[in-house]
Structure formats: structure tokens, C-alpha cells
Chain A
């Protein structure tokens, strides 16, 4: 069965506004949430969504099906995010706001206590908020958008090794944070 997303892109390339609206309805939420993870401000995320969808309108004909529509679309979104951060002068700001980076792998006891703490949604949210944006971003792509390592690497235009490394840092930082919250 033909993927409807591919069909919509072909129709959008023909200038079909109705197909664009269907595509928008399907993808506005995921693109918005992905942008919000990195930009933090709902207004910025909404503006970015607008730019991304306009870019889809212009470039639909260039989608060649080498990757999933989701990967292609999130790749566009990521580049727009970087452009926006540069405009806002915030390219390095969030990356600097890292909570204690822990290069040591967590111990077994850390993991066990973190499992218990992770059941508390409020704590997880608090720890996610304290993560560096690039770490929060990879967690979002892996655990919310359920992309593979190679797909995340394609979206973020970085090597697969970098994706794995960022995920490892994100996990360890979250684990430590949850452990501290759990023993308070």
C-alpha cells in the first residue's frame, strides 16, 4: 500500500493545497514538539513550524524517498532550528547550561534507584529540563519519535557515534539527577 505521506508530497509538488493541509495536520504536532525541545519558547517553536512547512511546500518535489518522510522532515526542522538559534544568538547558550556532566558510567545501585525515581513523572520532567538541549533533543528523537540511530544521525547531520555518545551522556545525567531527587 502506498505511503500516504509520500503521496501527499507528490501532490504538494504539483501545487495541491489540500494535500499540503493533510500533510500539515499529520506533521505539525511532531515538528512543533521537536522544535520546542530545543527552542523552549512556544512562540519560537510556532514560527519555526511555519518556516518548516513553507519549506516543505517549496521542496516537496525534491524528496527522493531515500529516507522516511519523518527523517527528511526532521532534518529540515533541525537545520531551521540551528538557523534560528544563530539568529537569536543562542547557539551556545543552552549547550553551556549543562548540569554536572558525568563521564563515569552509573553503578548498578545508581541504576536501580534511578528506575524507581524515573517512575515519578515530575522528577523526570525536572531532570529533562536541566539537560543540555542537545541531550534533550536526542532523547526526544529516540524515545518519543522512535528513530533509529542512523536516522537520528541523518536528522542531526552528525555521525552515529556522536548520537550514541550524546545518548550516553543524557542517560547518565538523568540517572544522577533522579538519584539525587530520590534521596532528598
Chain B
């Protein structure tokens, strides 16, 4: 029986039945089925089993409240990302010079590194996700990345997403840098923290 079994494509029959074999495999199986009663019977069983599995699906679902619950959770996530960390509020309140410098940065259209960084303002090596606008040139991309002290680390993915690592040569917070990137609409079509 073992020797006979080795001659039959038992392991492939379920995938013949669910029609996921590649064309060459399918052709081989069909040629075998043409003259093998044993495998014909096995295929018939698998087709009936397939029907049974499909019919056994429960009528129950996740319920009508599942989406509203998820929607609330998503909005909580978004709100959490927008809030400033408490330690940042403490650092700003402790130094008038830092507060004035932060205010100046908010109104500056082309930011340049200030030569100092607030300790812990942006976690070292923080990675964000960017997608570049279709018409962006290499020079545009270079300018924008240099402006926020960023380096490409990965990408593009299938959705055109690039992963970019932010350095500590820019005094602004992560959210401030992301906001600035989003304002560069001719170059950046998507900017989000990872």
C-alpha cells in the first residue's frame, strides 16, 4: 500500500479541488485522474468535504456594534498620537529661552538646525513613513529630507511608502516635523509616524 500511495498525488488533490495549483501541476493531476479510479474517488470525497466545510460556516457574526467599537478605538489611537508627552510640557515650562525658541520655529517657513537639541524631543532614530508626490524631483526630495534631518532607510514598498529615519540635528518635535512635512504638499503626499 505504501508503494502504491507514493504513486498517487494525494498531497496535491486538495489543491486541485480548490483550484489553486499552477497550470503544469493541474495538467499532471488531470492526466493521472484520467486513469486512476482511486484518486477519482478521493477527489470526489474532497469535493463533497469542501461543500460540507462551506456549509458548516456559522451564521453568527461579530454583531452590529463591532464597527462602532472599532471606530471609537481608532479615534482614541489618533487622539493619543496628537497629545504632547507630559515630560515635554514640563521641559518647556522650566526654560523661557526654550519656549521662545519653540515659538520662533513654529513661524519659520524654512527651518534650519539651531545647533542645539532639546534632550529627548524626538526619540533618537525615530522612523516615519513618507510617500512622495508624483511630480517631486530628486532635488525637492533632498531639500525636504535635509530640512528635517532625515535619511531614507527603506522602500519603496508596493504602496510607494518610504521609511525615513529622523536624526537629532533638528530641534523640533516629531509632530512638528511631521506637520512641516505635510505642508510640503508638492513634494510629500503622505507623512505619518510608524
Chain B contacts with A in 36-88, Cβ cutoff 8 A: 37-38, 41-42, 44-46, 48-58, 60-63, 66-67, 69-71, 73-74, 77-78
The residue that B159 contacts in the complex, of A65, A148, A149, with Cβ under 8 A, is A65
Binds A, one of B15-23, B132-140, B166-174: B15-23
Q: How far is the CA of A174 from the CA of B37 in the complex (A)?
A: 21
B14 within 8 A of A: yes
Q: Which residue of A lies closest to B5 (CB)?
A: A105
A70 within 8 A of B: no
A10 within 8 A of B: yes
A182 within 8 A of B: no
CB of B157 within 8 A of CB of A64, answer yes
Binary CB contact string for chain A from 158 to 173 against chain B (1 if under 8 A, 0 otherwise): 0000001001100100
A54 within 8 A of B: yes
Q: Which residue of B lies closest to A66 (CB)?
A: B158
Given A118-B52, A139-B53, A111:B157 Cβ within 8 A? no
CB of B129 within 8 A of CB of A61, answer yes
CB distance from B152 to the nearest CB of A (A): 15
How many B residues have CB within 8 A of the partner chain? 51
CB of B69 within 8 A of CB of A146, answer no
CB of B192 within 8 A of CB of A62, answer no
> Residue among B21, B57, B62 with the most chain A CB within 10 A?
B62
Q: How far is the CA of A66 from the CA of B57 in the complex (A)?
A: 29
CB of A171 within 8 A of CB of B18, answer no
Binds B, one of A24-32, A76-84, A91-99: A24-32
Sorting the interface of chain A by its residue count into under 10, 10 to 19, 20 to 34 or 35 or more gives 35 or more
> Residue among B15, B38, B50 with the most chain A CB within 10 A?
B15
CB of B62 within 8 A of CB of A49, answer yes
Query: Contact residues of B with A, CB < 8 Å?
Result: 1, 5, 10-11, 14-15, 17-21, 37-38, 41-42, 44-46, 48-58, 60-63, 66-67, 69-71, 73-74, 77-78, 129, 157-161, 190, 192, 194
Query: Contact residues of A with B, CB < 8 Å?
Result: 6, 9-10, 13-15, 17, 20-21, 24-25, 28-29, 32-33, 36, 42, 45-46, 49-50, 53-54, 57-58, 61-66, 105, 108, 111-112, 114-115, 118-119, 121, 124-125, 128, 139-140, 142-144, 146-149, 151, 164, 167-168, 171, 174-175
Q: Give 29 pairs: A residue, B residue, CB < 8 Å, sorted on A.
A: A9-B159, A13-B192, A21-B67, A24-B67, A28-B66, A32-B62, A33-B57, A42-B60, A46-B66, A50-B73, A58-B77, A63-B157, A65-B157, A105-B5, A108-B37, A111-B44, A114-B45, A115-B48, A118-B52, A121-B55, A142-B14, A143-B14, A144-B57, A146-B19, A147-B18, A148-B18, A149-B15, A167-B14, A171-B14
